Amino acid sequence: MGNYSKWYHPYTINEKYSERVAYFSMEFGIHQALKIYSGGLGYLAGSHMRSAYELRQNMIGIGILWRYGYYDQMRNDDQFMGVQFQKKYYTFLEDTGIMVQVTIHNNPVWVKALVLPAETFGTVPMYFLTTDIPQNDYLSRTITHRLYDQELPTRIAQSIVLGIGGAKVVEALGGAATYHMNEAHALPLVFHLFDKYRDLHEVKKRMAFTTHTPEKAGNEEHDVELLAKMSFFGPLPVEEARRISGTYGASLNYTLTALRMSKMANGVSKLHGEVSREMWYGNEGVCEIKSITNAQNVTYWQNTQLRQALDTNDDERLVQLKAEMKKPLFDLVADQTGKLFKSDVLTIVWARRFAAYKRADLLLYDLHRFFELVNREGQPVQVIWAGKPYPFDYGAISIFNKLIEVSHQKKNVAVLTGYELDLSAKLKQGADIWLNTPRRPREASGTSGMTAAMNGAINFSVQDGWIPEFGKHGENSFLFPIVDTTLPDYEQDQIDYANMMHILETEVIPAYYLDRKKWVSIMKQSMRDVTAYFGSERMADEYYRLMYQDGK
């Protein structure tokens, strides 16, 4: 074992990636057993940590050890969705002996760092912070209990723990040349660095920042006085924090401040880069915003036998494997819902976070037509939904419950709970069609379609996020025609719905049942194209070249 109380990697660093980088993220989707993630941001960060390990990069991850995780998705007695917060214990994390102190609301709080050794899951060394230790009072101990806590003061405290606590842990390990913030949750980090160097230029040359969403909820903005009261700016007086962040109004925007205090930033797809530049370039002092398209780790996600069948051009084996890969998913459907799905039936999956703009229920826009679709004579369709709404987003939960209600009426429609890494993998391996229906251009990247394509599921998607860089209609995917985004939402929904149903009825279903040659050709092209560019080795390499080294 290495000495994890100092900067240590169990491999020889590849000289192309010798710069010391500390990667900060509120969530990481590393392994089903380590429940410290909620969705795409975490899956992406997890894939990045795996590829950084495979490329032997000189990087470490800094995150938080959520005592109750995000939440466990349950079913209540009436089958509707329930939320459970259950304490988590992990024997594979090791004590580093590192303890640092941060100030929260003028109160000293101890932060302890545990390490996930690189060999455990094949990631770079990762340090997880907790305040749930005997040295702290009860309130301080609860800071690291729940990912994205619904209480604002707690979320601000979580940012301080990740940003300032994380920075102090990095310093205890011997320091880093670049601090990379994956989203702006760790923002107090920049004020900590300013307090240390007292020079904005010195802060900027060490900071890289990735913005992940054009959604308002994802770009936090809070009252400056409240942040100051909570010690968000560390020991800096509020006037100084305002001056260096260029904030003169009542509230401070996390994303904007991160863009002003970094040497380099990026959006997570070409389209999102454009959207971000449009959103932020009008503001003074903003750094350059590049695009580095998100990607996922092929080693972790792709079924190896399926890959072999593709590489040897064995179409028969490919089709046979795809049918077999449905079995674990359909066993789960039977277990959770009492329904028996068939492996020779076209299976459509919609699975992701239940954010409103993702339109989970677009398929149900016209219920009568939906029932006609799933009742088709001779060309049946099976539909599966899964996803975890934010546990206090009652609108999203009610959509989830509405889907459950509809599913009770049909034996070939199912809604699954527990959408985490393992179920996600089963869904991608078992799906024929991976349906993606966000309102354009609000999906910054949306990486689930990448891992679906790696496993022979064909993307059927709105042309948003990463899809415009990948999709060729009828060749490697099926694409919704682009809709005029200046129209009111309900009109866009109407048009998208009409287009979706038309393509399903006239292209997707006939190809699956009547033109197997075309179907298999699309599936293979999709698998080839996705691994060619959307594997996270390419992404992890680009971050070093375009963000860490280029900004110097």
| CATH of segment(s) 14-296+537-549 | 3.40.50.2000
Q: Is-same-fold flag (14-296+537-549; 301-533)?
A: yes
Integer angstrom CA distances of residue 32 from 28, 300, 350? 11, 12, 20
* pLDDT of 1 strictly over 70: no
Strand order in the sheet with 264-267: 94-104, 107-116, 126-130, 59-64, 21-24, 178-182, 207-210, 264-267, 289-291
Confidence label for 213 from pLDDT (cuts 50, 70 and 90): confident
The pTM is what?
0.96
The pLDDT value given to residue 70: 97
Confidence label for 551 from pLDDT (cuts 50, 70 and 90): low
The pLDDT value given to residue 517: 97
Confidence label for 182 from pLDDT (cuts 50, 70 and 90): very high
Report the SS3 class of residue 498: helix
The pLDDT value given to residue 455: 98
Q: Where are the domains of the chain?
A: 14-296+537-549, 301-533
CA 232 from centroid of its chain's CA atoms = 25
pLDDT in tens, 71-116: 999 999 999 999 999 999 999 999 999 999 999 999 999 999 999 9
pLDDT in tens, 258-315: 999 999 999 999 999 999 999 999 999 999 999 999 999 999 999 999 999 999 999 9
Report the SS3 class of residue 35: coil
* pLDDT of 552 strictly over 70: no
Confidence label for 2 from pLDDT (cuts 50, 70 and 90): confident
Confidence label for 442 from pLDDT (cuts 50, 70 and 90): confident
The pLDDT value given to residue 329: 98
pLDDT in tens, 318-334: 999 999 999 999 999 99
Please state, for a pLDDT cut of 90, what percent of the chain lies above it: 95
pLDDT in tens, 234-262: 999 999 999 999 999 999 999 999 999 99
Residues 6+ apart with CB under 8 A from 287: 204, 209, 259, 260, 262, 263, 264, 265
Domain 301-533: CATH architecture, name and number where available:
3-Layer(aba) Sandwich (3.40)
Average pLDDT, the chain: 96
Q: Please compute the mean of the pLDDT values over residues 213-232 and round it to a whole number.
A: 91
- From CA 76, how far away is CA 79, in angstroms rounded? 5
- Please, are residues 438 and 357 in contact by the beta-carbon 8 Å criterion? yes
